[in-house]
């Protein structure tokens, strides 16, 4: 099964710090400002597990291209109301023009179920 994939090009607004969510799960957020449309879009992309290190060396203001997988989740609260959440899981990042300078790059494998945190409390949101 192939996951939906998107590419975002823009300017880094925020490079977050790595957060250890649990003993087995860590994440790091990147916010990219994408300039198309009437207003700039500030798009959060989450890098998890060993992909957190891909953000080392990147800083706000860098022009980048980010490739990510689109993840959708269903969550039903205690009140029985079902909600749907969308997230972008970062797979690779490069500075604009870096592929030409370095002769390309190797793609990381897509995230697996093992990369996702296990929910122990039914009231926890799935992100």
Q: Where are the alpha helices (H) located in 53-120, listed in sequence order?
A: 98-102
Give the residue from 41, 48, 30 showing the smallest Cα distance to 114.
48
List, for residues 108-126, the tens digit of each pLDDT value.
555 555 555 555 455 555 5
Q: Please give the angle made by the CA atoms of 121, 49 and 16, to the nearest 5 degrees.
A: 90
Domains of the chain: 5-108 (2.40.50.140)
What's the pLDDT at 119?
53
Q: What is the mean pLDDT of the segment spanning 54-65? A: 96
Q: Any idea which of 7-21, 54-68, 72-86, 96-110 has the lowest mean pLDDT?
A: 96-110
Give the residue from 51, 63, 66, 47 showing the smallest Cα distance to 6.
66
What's the pLDDT at 112?
54
Query: How far is the CA of 94 from the CAs of 11, 54, 59, 72, in angstroms?
Result: 11, 9, 12, 25
Residue 48's pLDDT band, with cuts at 50, 70 and 90, is very high
Average pLDDT score over the chain: 83
């Amino acid at each position: 099964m192939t996951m939906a994939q998107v590419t975002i090009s823009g300017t880094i607004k925020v490079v977050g710090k790595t957060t250890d969510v649990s003993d087995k799960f860590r994440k790091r957020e990147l916010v990219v400002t994408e300039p198309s449309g009437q207003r700039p879009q500030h798009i959060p992309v989450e890098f998890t597990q060993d992909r957190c290190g891909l953000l080392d060396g990147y800083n706000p203001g860098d022009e980048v291209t980010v490739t990510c997988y689109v993840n959708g989740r269903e969550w039903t609260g205690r009140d029985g109301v079902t909600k749907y959440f969308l997230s972008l899981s970062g797979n690779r990042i490069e500075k604009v023009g870096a592929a030409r300078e370095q002769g390309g790059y190797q793609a990381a494998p897509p995230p697996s179920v093992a990369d996702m945190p296990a929910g122990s409390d039914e009231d926890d949101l799935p992100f």
